[in-house]
Amino acid sequence: MMEEGRRTLDQGYYVISMQIFTRIVALKPNLYEAWYQMALSKYHLEDYKGAADDCRRALALQPYIADIYELYGMTNIRVERYDSAIVAFTHAIDIIPDNRDYWFNRAYCLYQVGDSKAALQQVDYILKRWRNFSAAAQLREDIVVGRKPKKQIISKQPPAPPSYPSPKGRGVGSVLSL
């Protein structure tokens, strides 16, 4: 059943994949991957609260997978719960410190909560590591001039908010887009 759920999710049949993963978690509630995949289906359906709830269930079962934190962070960005997103992306960075999208999304959220100084430090760090990261350069410019950035989620997954490139893959991502 997991394979069928993954296949339907990959093909964009989000309602069907969500129904399959709902059946799986009813049978095996301790299967973190089913909770994560169901959260991903809900994210694509723009049920961000439902996706966040499912992410929390997956994280309670498996707190060592960065993709779950990333999706949880993305759902929180979508509902403008930036403080929760900062925590989620910090956990993701702790697990995979070389993912520029996690760093970017955290910097974006820091700026959204009004911590321009920390956001600027993060963006400077990002640009030092990833010199050609245009979304980070744009965010830096926004911070310096005091302009609120356009929603720019970077993710390898669900559609990014308007502005920066949208995600292309299944994963979630950053406030930019993957």
pLDDT in tens, 23-77: 999 999 999 999 999 999 999 999 999 999 999 999 999 999 999 999 999 999 9
Distance CA 167, CA 94 (A): 22
What is the reported pLDDT for 178? 27
Q: Does the residue 2 lie in any domain?
A: yes
Rg (CA), the chain: 16
What is the reported pLDDT for 11? 96
119 Cβ contact partners less than 8 Å away, ≥ 6 residues apart: 107, 108, 110, 111, 139, 143
SS3 of residue 42 by DSSP: helix
Binning the chain into helix, strand and coil, the percentages to the nearest 5 are 65, 5, 30
What is the reported pLDDT for 164? 32
Vertex 115: Cα angle to 167 and 47 (nearest 5): 35
Residue 94: both structure tokens together? 């702790």
Distance CA 2, CA 37 (A): 9
What is the reported pLDDT for 151? 64
Q: Does the residue 163 lie in any domain?
A: no
Q: Does the residue 68 lie in any domain?
A: no
Residue 70: both structure tokens together? 């990333």
Q: Does the residue 78 lie in any domain?
A: no
pLDDT in tens, 32-43: 999 999 999 999
126: confidence class by pLDDT, cuts 50, 70, 90? very high
Domain count, the chain: 1
Distance CA 29, CA 49 (A): 19
Strand partners, 135: none
> Which segment of 76-85, 92-101, 147-156, 168-177 scores lowest on mean pLDDT?
168-177
64 Cβ contact partners less than 8 Å away, ≥ 6 residues apart: 95
Q: Does the residue 40 lie in any domain?
A: yes
Q: Does the residue 145 lie in any domain?
A: no
149: confidence class by pLDDT, cuts 50, 70, 90? confident
Q: Can you give the residue range of the structural domain that contains 15?
A: 1-47
Q: Does the residue 164 lie in any domain?
A: no
> What is the value of pTM for the model shown?
0.85
118 Cβ contact partners less than 8 Å away, ≥ 6 residues apart: 110
Q: What percent of the chain has pLDDT over 70?
A: 84
Q: Does the residue 126 lie in any domain?
A: no
